[in-house]
Structure 1
Amino acid sequence: MQRFFPYLIGLVIILAVLSSCVFVVRERDSALVFALGEVRETITEPGLYFKLPPPFQNVVLLDRRLQTIETKDPERIQTAEKKNLLIDSFVKWRIIDPRQFYVTFGANTRAAEERLSAQIRDALNASVNVRTVKEVVSSQRGDIMKEMLSTVDNRARPLGVEVVDVRLRRIDFAPEISESVYRRMEAERKEEANRLRATGAADSERIRAQADRQREELLATAYAEAEKIRGTGDAEAASIFAQAYSKNPEFYSFYKSLEAYRSSFSSKDDLLVISPDSEFFRFWDNGQGTAPARP
């Protein structure tokens, strides 16, 4: 057994040397192959690779997956109105140039995150400082994120890093301005409500006036039409009466006298003071309608 012991030691050494010459690059990694401290090769495709044993060559693996930087504490940023806002943000980034990333940061991902965080703060300050609170909170929030993404990505690419996305997660008012901002917002809402009420009242008056005018026009048109119809009817009635009178004037006079008697004595309490030989009683005792002889 002692005779084979040196061979076993040699075999172990050979296996150790061979294992140091083989390395695996996974789908999520990039590999930098160094020769005597200098980068000789950059490998981004996954697979099994070979190299010289240390110290002639060694390998550094870098994670090329999408990574996230989140602010631990909200950034205190001042707006164009000199109002302080507390802003939470996060950034998605990844390594696109392993060689340049290693030259800048080594294999220290934490150093890269600190560098990117500083650039994010600068970009956030530059975008928020020129805008009002209302623009930051609502109307231009998307524009701010686009500006930050463009600025930070342009600064990060020379470092071997691509910034994929920048998001403002939460925007709060600083405690010292919250109350004043709320009061101003309340005043703006009240002003808008009053404006809408005034507009509604003006529209109501306009609609009411228009309806009244249309009503008067319709009534005037209807009255004119009624008078026209009434006049036509009166004319036709007069024509019919004239025709009837011309056919038998005596009977027409007798009929009209009967109507006068009926209307004059329609009630028991009616009293008529008139001479008996008046023209009114021409048909009372005389069916021919001749006037009674005067004494």
Structure 2
Amino acid sequence: MTRIGILLVVLFGALIVALSSVFIVDEREKALILQFGQIRDVKEDPGLAFKVPFVQNVVTYDDRIQSLDTQQQEVTPLDDRRLVVDAFARWRISDVIQFRQAVGAGGIAQAEQRLDGILRAQLREVLGSVPSNSILSADRVALMNRIRDAAVIRARALGIDVVDVRIKRTELPTQNLAATFQRMEAERAREAADERARGQEAAQRVRAQADRTAVELVSEAQRDSDIIRGEADGARNAIFAEAFGRDPEFFAFYRSLSAYENALSGENSTLVITPDSEFFDYLKSDKAPSSAAAAPAE
């Protein structure tokens, strides 16, 4: 081999060694330099970094906030009303060395698995200490903060900082929905029956008051009408008495005409009387009988 060939081989080997000793740290990542599985250095600043070629290797981890969706699980609150809960968390690596020591070569996948276990345990513990109404109401925000604070403490051993925890969905198990709906229907039916009973009671009170008012109004009207009728009868009798005093014969004639009208009205048109009856005295003569003229007004 010539000197030029040897030189080219040396240069090529040197280039390979140089390239193997240089790596780039992205601003979104943290890098660990490992030698035979042991941590030798940490690179957190972005830019070029160096390592011993063929002896050391580089492992990078995402330094951004990451999301983790927990698996659905059933929790049992204080009132024994089982609920299916689905939550998610936001987390990031706070200590990359501790993170590597905790999860080993499993990396992000192993960390998410262990963090999922922590979150599920805290969900059961916190949600199991309150009634279901608190979980389904605005108090859920305080419960999520309690879960987050507890998860923060336990996740420190993994070199992880839990930023936030939120409950996405809270619902009843499928096997309990039918029974719950039936119970809700029964409660609504009972409330409706109570409302109808109160409405009927109120309606009866209103009817009774209306009937009483109607009776009072009718009684007052009857009393007033009786008074008016009595006053009218008295005025009529006074007029009759005055008319009799002025012209007894005319008054007797008027009374006879009224008697004829009443006797011969409608179907009552047949009379059986004696020929010399005083009833038709005015039909026989235009003079009033002496007995009629002398009769007092009724």
Partner amino acid, structure 1, of 2:117: A
Residue in structure 1 matched with residue 49 of structure 2 by the alignment:
51
Q: How does 1:1-295 map to 2 (within 5 A)?
A: 2-19=2-19, 20-25=21-26, 27=28, 29-32=29-32, 37-43=39-45, 49-54=47-52, 59-65=58-64, 66-71=66-71, 75=73, 77=75, 80=78, 87=84, 89-99=86-96, 100-106=98-104, 108-131=107-130, 135=133, 142=140, 145-157=144-156, 159-167=159-167, 169=169, 173=173, 178=175, 186=182, 189-190=185-186, 192-225=188-221, 227-228=223-224, 231-232=227-228, 235-236=231-232, 238-239=234-235, 242-243=238-239, 246=242, 248-250=246-248, 251-266=250-265, 267-271=268-272, 276-277=277-278, 283-291=282-290
Shift of 1:110: 2.9
Partner amino acid, structure 2, of 1:23: I
Contact in 1 for aligned 2:33/2:51 (Cα 8 Å): no
> How many residues were matched structurally?
278
Tell which deviates more after alignment, 110-119 or 281-290. 281-290
The change in CA–CA distance for 1:274 and 1:112 in structure 2 (over 3 A counts) is farther
Counting aligned pairs with the same residue, the percent is 19
* RMSD, aligned CA: 4.4
Flag structure 2 segments of 5+ consecutive residues without an equivalent. Answer: 293-298
Distance in structure 2 (CA, Å) of the matches to 1:12 and 1:262: 151
- Secondary structure at 1:4's aligned position in 2? helix
The change in CA–CA distance for 1:40 and 1:190 in structure 2 (over 3 A counts) is closer
Tell which deviates more after alignment, 260-269 or 32-41. 32-41
Flag structure 1 segments of 5+ consecutive residues without an equivalent. Answer: none
Distance in structure 1 (CA, Å) of the matches to 2:67 and 2:186: 46
Q: TM-score, normalised by structure 1?
A: 0.68
Contact in 1 for aligned 2:75/2:85 (Cα 8 Å): no
Partner amino acid, structure 2, of 1:52: F
Deviations 1:82-110 (A, max 9, x none): 78x58463433331414343354356223
Contact in 2 for aligned 1:30/1:98 (Cα 8 Å): no
Partner amino acid, structure 1, of 2:186: K
Partner amino acid, structure 1, of 2:24: F
